[in-house]
Amino acid sequence: MLSDDSGSSSDDGGSSSSSSDSTTGAIIFAAAYNSSKKKLEFAEKSRYLFRTGYRKSNQDVFINDLNTGSGDERPWLTEDEFKKKYRMNREALDFITDKIKDDKVFKNKRGPKQMNPKHQLMVLLDYLGTEGCGANLPKQRAYFKIGHGSVKNCRKRARKAILRCLGEKYYNWPDENERRKIAKWFKKEFNLPNCVGVMDGTLFPLEFEPETEDAGDYHGRKFQWSLTCLVVSDQKRRIRWYVSGYPGSAHDNRMLRRSPLKLKKEEWFALYEYIIGDTAFDPGENVVPAYKASPGQSEPDDPDERLFNRVMSTPRVSSEHVNGMWKGRFPWLRMIPNKIKNKKTLKCVLEYIHCTVLLHNLLIEIGDEHVKSWEREQDRLSDIADPDRAPSDGMPEEERVLYRGVPEGAPKDWRRDTLKEYLREHHAAFELQKRDMVDDESSDEDMEDLYVYEAQFEAYFNRYN
């Protein structure tokens, strides 16, 4: 009896254990089934599973766009139409292609052969030549008859190739010899000795609100969301230095204070060299801004300051035209369609911006003519508004002071005040000298105007001497 009871109890325990094992097994099976089902559903949605072949168009858009016609055959795109779409002529496109075609990014280690580098560059140029979302993935895919992935790859590869192959040659600060040539030009054209560039700020509006913790900082006074950019250009309207990536609320002067132009000025300027800018900037050893007007007035009260601002106005307008040319050539800058989410996406935007800088400078160098009608007034918007090396041969004594370093303990406005005094004393003669370059065949009426002009200047300065 005892043994029977013991056996019965043992059977009951075995039955309970078996039931528990079955339940556990069922749970594991259900979990595995659900996991496999989700993976299968994901795989079925993938365009790479069960693919029978690539979709290809019978029409080669790149060949059609590049075709220049022959005999009675007319090109699909005229020269003007081609330049409007790709922001440069066919010769410039060939020139850039030759510069970047051998970059490693266009060579696959495995897999199918890439598209022609020129065609990939055309995809990027179409993208940069379109404002806002006008050249998004679906639209570029539909136009070029290539896949979404190919569109993204073309943009990325061409961007990387341009940065690597064009960076050093087409974006650099002028060396000492080049700065002397630039300064000579500014002296000849505007009577601004030792000026080596013009500085101005501009804004790049963003299509979408940034998804970052500091998203509010991208909100500026002129656009809902934007990036701020500070630019220094030369007499040929090339961009010689710039900084971008600051949110739209950042002031031009704040960016300058944190830039190497200010922090390491001895590496960028000789003691007597400077750049000019508008009233947004603080005066310094190598920065000469315009004078601010009195509250409620459009000009300063001091007549010397008014003269100073007038002299500086023409080269400063030239700097604003740089921003207009830059954004006119590459309308992508007018409304950046990339969404800023983190450092990686911001870096991508900055790489695109740098691409446009390199292309802007290159196209000026090779003489690809800018189309004036591309510019817009709003493109120019900003969020404001060593002595031993100095040339001395034949230099007037009164001009030598402009080649001195700022004396120790001098006020930060010393450079600007020195230049103001120079202009007060000598700019009238400079203006008259330019007028004297009139041909000998000038009419009596022209000469009479010249005498009136001279008399006005003499009367103006006699009042303050």
Mean pLDDT of 254-274: 91
Note the pLDDT tens digit of each residue in 393-421.
444 555 544 555 555 566 667 677 777 77
Q: Which tokens sit at 313? A: 């106005």
Note the pLDDT tens digit of each residue in 3-17.
445 444 445 555 555
Residue 35 makes CB contacts below 8 A (sequence gap 6+) with none
- Indicate the Cα dihedral angle 26, 31, 37, 40, nearest 10°: -120
Q: Which tokens sit at 3? A: 């043994």
pLDDT at 294: 80
Question: Contacts from 390-395 at CB under 8 Å and sequence distance 24+?
Answer: 390/270, 390/272, 391/180
SS3 content of the chain, % helix, strand, coil (to 5): 55, 10, 35
Where b means 16+ CB within 10 Å and e means fewer, 96-109 reads bbebbeebebbeee
Q: Which tokens sit at 208? A: 């979408």
Note the pLDDT tens digit of each residue in 325-383.
999 999 999 999 999 999 999 999 999 999 999 999 999 999 998 888 888 766 655 54
Between 443 and 96, whose confidence is greater? 96
Mean confidence (pLDDT) of the chain:
80
Q: Which tokens sit at 215? A: 């998203």
Band (127; pLDDT cuts 50, 70, 90):
very high
Q: Please state the pTM of the whole predicted model.
A: 0.75
The DSSP symbol for 310 reads H
Where b means 16+ CB within 10 Å and e means fewer, 375-401 reads beeebbbbbeeeeeebeeeeeeeebee
- Amino acid, res. 280: A
Query: At residue 151, does pLDDT exceed 50?
Result: yes
**Would you say 383 and 228 are in contact if contact means Cβ atoms under 8 Å apart?**
yes
